Amino acid sequence: MASDDSKENLDKHIQKLERANKNLKEELEKERSKRKNLEKENKDLKEEKEIFKKENKNLKEQLAKLMSSAPLLAASDRTAEAGGVPTSKVFYRRNRVEGKKRPTGGQPGHIGHGRKSPIPNAPPVRVTLIICPNCSNPVRNKAKGEEQHRTITDIPLPTHIVYEVIYHRYWCKTCKKFVRGEVVWIPPNQQFGPAVACWIAYQRMLGLTIGKIKMALYETYGLEMSEGTILKLEKWVADKLQDDYDKLQKEVIKASAVNADETRFRIGGGNGWLWVFTHTLGSLYVVAPTRGHKVPEETLKGFNGVLGRDAWKPYDVVKCSGHQLDLLHVNRWLERAEIRHCVEPRTLLSSRPVKLKRRGRPPEKFLEFVNGVRSILKRAVEFSDKDPPLSTEERGIACIKFKNEMKALLSKERKDKDAIRISKELRKRLDMLFTFVEKEGVSWHNNDAERAIRKGVLARKISGGRRTWGGAKIFQVLLSTYETTKKKGMNFIELAKKRLCTRSSNDIHESGVSKS
């Protein structure tokens, strides 16, 4: 009996263990299933994390683009210029004077300026009275020596003149045919005179389109003219001014300092480029299909002066006595880097302290680099502007000193990406940073060329460029002559009339040509 009881207890114990083992197996399977689910969830979360990382990176890039875009940069005059925002997108008035604004009007100690009274060239207008304007009693005798004078400048109402050109023909016994004289100052195969052609060329240089010129001729002078005729007259003036354009190119080569710039210029719906080479007494414009080195290399062949330019590499091929990099472009590199570091950009000659645009620690190493570059360039500019001018020897010594100081600053190791990039660019162009210090008469900026190229930008915005390459060549001749006459204090219309051998309507009596 005892053995039977022990056997029964053992069976029960075995059954209990089997049930417990079964339960443990079930729990183990559940835990394994949970583990698999957790591993799957973990894998899914890692995948989502990678996706979010990519999205975050893309959003940061988009935010950086947005923060440097024209609409946001244009809200401030400090960020707009540094970001290269076009003036057409800017809606503020730039205050370029730091500190207290100077009062308007005449300044203490300055010589006053006013318009000189012109000499009358027309009969006077006499004002008489019959009755007194105060008491209405008659007045008879003029008071001698009590006249009051006012000089009025006016322009005559526009009108046009129409005259015939009569060609007298003669029989030549030698040639056995009728011959006649030719008038060089009348456009070939046209019914309009040289004054109309000069007026059209002048209006084109002011930026008027063909349609507006056509409208102005009709509404002002009562002349109806087709667009084709306007273009032919413009071409005739450009052909007559071609010699002046060629002489201008030779003057540019002989100049001691020339500034150059370029901009996109649409021709026939395709891309072209408008180049400008400007100096003290002239501006030469060249329209070309390329922005490569061929244009400056050919235009400035034989040039032995100093070329002021930006950092565009094709200018490097120009062989001359020296290059001067536009320091405002260098400062623009610094300003754009400051924007990326959330620092308010500063001008090159500014003495303003650093102003952060967000909370946190300032980028000290970056600011040390930026302030160092600006300090050297600012001292170089102030040195070159000293009055009276310094000697050539003093300028040469100072140039070497500034170069060595800049070289030492740029040779330091940097961790900031913008500082590394700008240092690399400046090291490559170290020889063209301080040419203006060494050579007198060389500007440290390229503003002259940028102002000159602005004329081409306006023409592009108004009319979209030119339809043909022939029209582009006409444009370059007329614009070069027009801008050069302004620099020399001349009148474009008068020069064009002179080249066309124009006779006035009251004096057409030369070279066997008469009005009767």
Q: pLDDT tens digits, residue range 96-122?
A: 555 567 778 778 888 877 788 889 999
Instruction: Tell me the average pLDDT across 431-439.
Output: 93
The chain-wide mean pLDDT, for the chain, equals 86
The letter for the amino acid at 368 is E
Does the structure show a pLDDT above 70 at 81?
no
Residue percentage of the chain with pLDDT more than 70: 90
Bridge partners of 309?
325
Of 503 and 242, which is predicted with more confidence?
242
Question: End-to-end alpha-carbon separation of the chain, Å?
Answer: 165
- Residues 263, 244, 445, 88: what is their CA dihedral angle, to the nearest 10 degrees? -40
pLDDT for the residue numbered 108: 82
Instruction: Tell me the average pLDDT across 309-314.
Output: 92
Instruction: Tell me the average pLDDT across 407-434.
Output: 92
Instruction: Tell me the average pLDDT across 374-391.
Output: 89
**DSSP secondary structure string, 17-53?**
HHHHHHHHHHHHHHHHHHHHHHHHHHHHHHHHHHHHH
Q: Are 178 and 171 in contact (CB under 8 A)?
A: yes
Helix (H) or strand (E) holding 498: helix 492-499
Q: What is the pTM of this model?
A: 0.77
Q: What are phi and psi of 440, to 5 degrees?
A: -70, 145
Q: Are 328 and 447 in contact (CB under 8 A)?
A: yes
pLDDT for the residue numbered 74: 54
Cα dist from 232 to 65, 133, 197, 235, 299, whole Å: 47, 58, 9, 5, 28
pLDDT one-digit tens code per residue, 159-170: 888 988 888 999
pLDDT for the residue numbered 502: 46
pLDDT one-digit tens code per residue, 176-190: 999 998 888 888 788
Q: Are 481 and 245 in contact (CB under 8 A)?
A: yes
pLDDT for the residue numbered 73: 59
Res. 509 pLDDT band, cuts 50 70 90: very low
> Rounded to whole angstroms, how far apart are CA atoms 191 and 186?
9
pLDDT for the residue numbered 507: 37
pLDDT one-digit tens code per residue, 235-269: 999 999 999 999 999 999 999 999 999 999 999 88
- Residues 83, 87, 91, 93: what is their CA dihedral angle, to the nearest 10 degrees? 90
pLDDT for the residue numbered 86: 60
